[in-house]
Structure 1
Amino acid sequence: MGRKAKHHYIPKCYLKGFTNGGESSSPFWAVPINNDKPFPTSPNDACAQRDYYTVDHKNSLIVEDFYAEKIEPKISAAISYINVHSCLPPKEEMRCLILLLATLYLRVPSHRENLEMPMRRTKEIVESMSQDINISNKSEFDYSKTDLIQAELRLIDTVQECLSNKFYQLFIVEDESLNVITSDNPFIISHPKDGKGFYFGLNTSNIEICVPITSKAILIARNEKMKEGAFTATKELIGLTNTKLVLSASRFFYSNTEEILLGDDNISVHKHNISTNKAMHPTSG
């Protein structure tokens, strides 16, 4: 048996909730955001990169195995609870749901790029300075992919603690003809005053976190107190969530149907065909 080289940064146990079959091999549509033609794929092949979690260690797959064996079973338990009960999980399973959120926030390539940015910039500055002066500890500013992965692992508990202090609402899609999509970057933070260059983080006031849990469930979180519980997802919420996912995707978004519901600036919704890339008729109610 060959070495496991293809590593998922979005867990397969999460992605399969956006397929029709509910299995890792079940098909769904991958839609490139660069307007290339959509193509069928499966969770087995989506949101994965070669050697994404290979580290400098005698067991180079120790982190990949940690996520697969320790983290993903807990994530699956939270998703299964929501699938069965259509409500927010109780305390123990809620911890697993928060672990899912932390995973979707921390493990994507864009977050790794954010971790690397200051390290890379510091190294560039040191390299530039070393052309004029002798820097004896220059090697201390070097870093590797292993360093980035270690930084990610150190953040897991911190992010979970932060997420555990928020207020949550779960919205269930009851209309069988409608579905929520997901993407390769499904943890969405938005802000009422969001604009170009505006910075916000997990603890910024008035942010809203929006994460699709399955094709039939959307999770909303806020720092400010709100009524928690489970509610019916409106077409407007589904369309807005899908639009946010399309806009936040790094390379692909994923759908189990060719027609998806999208929203516009006026909070009106319409169906969009991903194959023809054309808007369909508007919907109401």
Structure 2
Amino acid sequence: MSIGSTSRNHHWIPQCYLKGFSRSRSKNAKLFVVDAIGRKTFNTVPRNIASARDFNRIEIDGVSPDQIESDFSHFEGNVDRALQRVIESRQLGNTEDHNLILNLIALLSARNPRTRENSRQFQEKVIKQMMGLTVAKKERYEASYKQAIEAGFMTSHDDIAYETIRDFVKNDQYTIEVPTTRHIEQELRLVDTILPLLGERNWLLLRAPANTSGFVTSDHPVVLQWSSHRERGFFNSPGFALRDTEVIFPISNELAMIGSFEVNNEVIDANIKVMAVINGAIIAHSNRQVYARDDRFQYSLSRDVIRWGADLLKDLASPSVSSL
């Protein structure tokens, strides 16, 4: 990248985190990737995954478009060093390192394409309902149009026949796009809400068994689930403030964290079954891709059968986002 140019390839999962799942914790070390939608597996470096063009680009007068990306890069530098210390010591480390990792968990919980699309769909649904009400009666449409002119959003030269707008809305000939800047504002507010709730939890640090490929991660690596494994639902969703819930977060292929209100802070050497169940939860919560050191990782989606990473595509029967 030349001096003065703007970064355009933005990671929603930092490279400093992803490299912890390779063999050497290097940006140039390759990860094994299982792509459920593409129905393929491949090896690649962290730079090529969990990223999108202009994902963090903002449009605010007087502010550089890549200001947020630059701020995140500074934060990720601090997180990189904290992760390195925790991985080397195999302990959660000092308060500062622990807080940096909790900040990373909060950020990764709020910032990902799936959350953005869910937000966009919700806003689209609300706006389309409002549009339907607006054009339900000609008098209501004309009053709304007059208010838009008075507010400066339109001029009298923009006049469009009521019947044209009514048919346009009725035939659902449009979609609603949410500016990236709006998404980022919402995400940062959500981080401020999630972070103190993470701090109130106690945390188990699980260490993967020796001579295994260890823990996996994904393009949506923070798992929030019921501790009792009850079914999720619209009226029965786990929340960061609710008891009987656990937050699972893989730190590297050697370490994973589980945060709960009901556990004590301690370090546990996980056996293969526990590791496989955790990997199964991470896989089930992923959006599209799973990342591992190699294809020899072990996972359990049923809690009864332990499978190898090379078999994962066979277990992911439906190549859709919702299947994960």
In structure 1, which of residues 3, 10, 18 is the aligned counterpart of residue 13 of structure 2? 10
1:54/1:36 Cα in 2 relative to 1: closer, same or farther (>3 Å)?
Answer: same
Structure of larger gyration radius: 2
> Which residue number in structure 1 is paired with residue 162 of structure 2?
none
Say whether 1:103 aligns with 2:107: yes
SS in 2 for 1:63: helix
For residues 219-260 of structure 1, the C-alpha deviation after alignment (integer angstroms, 9 at most, x for no partner) is: 000122x22121101111110111112211111101111122
Give the equivalent residue in structure 2 for 1:22. Answer: 25
CA distance in 2, matches of 1:211, 1:55: 29
Aligned in 2, Cα 1:21/1:274: closer, same or farther, shift over 3 Å?
A: farther
SS of residue matched to 2:297: strand
Compared CA separation, residues 85 and 264, structure 1 to 2 (3 A): same
Instruction: Give structure 2 stretches of 5+ with no counterpart.
Output: 154-175, 316-324
Identity of aligned residues (%): 20
Note the 1:186-205 alignment, pairs <5 A.
186-191=221-226, 192=228, 193-197=230-234, 198-205=236-243
Q: Name stretches of at least 5 consecutive residues in structure 1 with no aligned partner.
A: 279-285
Instruction: Give the conservation status (yes or no) of the 8 Å contact 1:33–1:246.
Output: no
User: Residue 39 of structure 2 contacts residue 313 of structure 2 at CA under 8 Å; is this kept in 1?
Assistant: no
Q: CA deviation at 1:52?
A: 0.6
C-alpha contact 2:12 2:51 (8 A) present in aligned 1: yes
Among residues 186, 194, 215, which one is paired with 2:253 in the alignment? 215
Aligned equivalents of 1:159 and 1:93: distance in 2? Answer: 18
| 1:157-172 alignment, distance < 5 Å | 157-172=192-207
2:120 counterpart of 1:116: yes
Which residue of structure 1 aligns with residue 290 of structure 2? 253
- SS state of the match for residue 294, structure 2? coil
Partner residue of 2:272 out of 235, 248, 256 = 235
Between Structure 1 and Structure 2, the one with more helix by share is: 2
- Structure ranking higher in strand proportion: 1
Deviation of 1:206 after TM superposition, in Å, equals 0.3
What whole-Å deviation, never above 9, does each CA across 1:63-89 have from its counterpart, x for those lacking one?
1111112x2123213211211211122
C-alpha distance in 2, partners of 1:77/1:49?
25
Structure 1 segments, 4+ long, off by >6 Å, are: none
Q: How many residues align?
A: 275
What letter matches 1:260 in structure 2? F
Query: What is the CA distance between 1:218 and its match in structure 2?
Result: 0.8
